Amino acid sequence: MSMLEVRDLRVTYRQGDRAVPAVRGVNFTLDRGQTIGIAGESGSGKSTMALSLLRLLAPTAEVTGEVLFDSENLLTSTWSKLRAVRWAEASVVFQGAMSALNPVRTIGDQLCEPILLHDKVGAKEARRRAAELLDSVGVPSRRLGGYPHEFSGGQRQRIMIAMALACRPNLIIADEPTTALDVMVQAQILQLLGDLVRDSGIGVIMISHDLSVLSHMCERLAVMYAGEIVEIGPSSQLIDDPRHPYTRALSRAFPTIGDPDSRRAPSGLAGDPPRAADLGESCAFAPRCSDVTPDCRTRTMELWPSGPGRLAACLRVLAEEGGPS
C-alpha cells in the first residue's frame, strides 16, 4: 500500500446553480521518499487538485473520490483526524510567502505554533526546534524575532519551507514554491528542497507551470489539462520524448539555450483552454491539437500505456502502442 493513493478525485465548484468541474477524475500514487511534479497552466486544476488532498478548499468546492493517506480516506475522515494529519503528516508550502505568513507575528512565533499544537512540547523546547529548523533552511536562527517584512523574498520562501517541516511530515505539497523568485534564488530554493528530500525521505508533490523546474526536482511528472491528467510517467522520459501533444507543446515553450531549433523560433500553442461548460468525455485538447483525428472528438479518453511506467491520454499513442482497437 502506498503512502498516498488518489482514486478518481473530482472537484466541482458550485456557482449558484452552475457546476464548474475543476478536477475531473485524477488517479496517482506516491510513496515515502518519492517526488511527483504536477504540471499545467493556470486553470488546469493543478492547484485545486493538490489543495483538495488535505481538504483545504472553500466549502463551495465539492470533492469526490478517495484520497487514501496511509490507508485512511482523508475526504471522509473526521475533522480531528484531518487536523492531526495536517502539519504532522502532510504539510503545504504555498506560493506567495508574503501572503501566507502572518505579517504581525514574528517568524519564531509562527514556527512554534504547529510544534506546540501537535507535538505536546513546552515553549522552550518548541523555540529550540524552531531555531534548528530556521538554521536547516539557511536562515540564521538569531532572526527568530524578526517579522516577515524584514526578510527578502527568498528568505521568506525558506521560512515557509521550515514551517512545512516543523512537525516532521512524511508528505509535503509545494504549490509553485519558486514562481515569484529570481533565477538565482530559485536555484537556491530548489537545491534546498532537493537536499531535504534526499536526506529525510519525505514524499513531495510539487506543482508548477514550469516543466524544467519540475523535471529537475521530481522523479515523476503528471501533466494536467482541463482538470485531467493527460500524461504521466518518469520525468526524463516525458521531457525527452513527450507522447501527448500538450506535453510536447509545454516542453517546447521553455527553450534550451543552444538548441538551434528554438533560436529565433519561439514555440507556443495557439488557442485558449476550453471552457468548463464545453468539456465532455472526448479529448479536451482536440480543438488546439495539430494532430487531431475525427475520432478524437467523439471517443472517450482514458490514460493508455505509452511505454514502461508511462501513460498518455492520446488516441495516437493508443494506435501506436496497442494497435487500432
Partner 1 sequence: MNVPALEVRDLKITYPARRGRGPARAVDGVNLRVEQGEIVALIGESGCGKSTLARALVGLVKPTSGQVLYQGTPLNYSAKALKKYRRHTQLVLQDPGGALNPRQNVFDAVAEGPRLHGLTDRLNETVRTSLTRAGLRPPEEFTARFPHEMSGGQQQRVVIAGALALDPSVIVADEPVASLDASVRGEILKLILSLRDDLGLSALVVSHDLGLAWNIADRVAVMYLGRIVEMGTVEEVLLRPRHPYTRALLSVLPDSAKDWRPTLLAGEPPDPTAIPSGCRFHPRCGNWAALSGPDREAAGCDRRDLPILSGDPSALTLTACHLVPGEHV
Nearer to partner 1, 1 or 257 (CB): 257
Length of the chain as a residue count: 325
Nearer to partner 1, 89 or 175 (CB): 175
Whole-number Å distance between alpha carbons of 132 and 166: 10
Shortest distance in whole angstroms from residue 56 CB to partner 1: 23
Largest CA distance in the chain: 67
Nearer to partner 1, 90 or 214 (CB): 214
Q: 91 has which bridge partners?
A: 172
Grid cell for residue 12: 466541482
Nearer to partner 1, 61 or 217 (CB): 217
- State the distance between the two ends of the chain, measured CA to CA, in whole angstroms: 33
Nearer to partner 1, 58 or 183 (CB): 183
Contact 181, 101 (CB under 8 A): no
Whole-number Å distance between alpha carbons of 221 and 300: 23
Nearest to 106 by CA among 51, 75, 66, 148: 148
Grid cell for residue 152: 527578502
Whole-number Å distance between alpha carbons of 211 and 192: 19
Nearer to partner 1, 1 or 183 (CB): 183
Nearer to partner 1, 170 or 235 (CB): 235
Shortest distance in whole angstroms from residue 71 CB to partner 1: 33
Q: Which residues bind partner 1 (CB under 8 A)?
A: 41-42, 152-155, 182-188, 190-191, 209-213, 215-217, 235-236, 239-240, 249-250, 252-258, 262-270, 272-273
Shortest distance in whole angstroms from residue 236 CB to partner 1: 5
Q: Is 193 left (phi over 0), alpha (psi -120 to 50) or beta?
A: alpha
Shortest distance in whole angstroms from residue 67 CB to partner 1: 27
Shortest distance in whole angstroms from residue 272 CB to partner 1: 5
Shortest distance in whole angstroms from residue 181 CB to partner 1: 9
Nearest to 98 by CA among 167, 16, 154, 43: 154
Shortest distance in whole angstroms from residue 162 CB to partner 1: 17
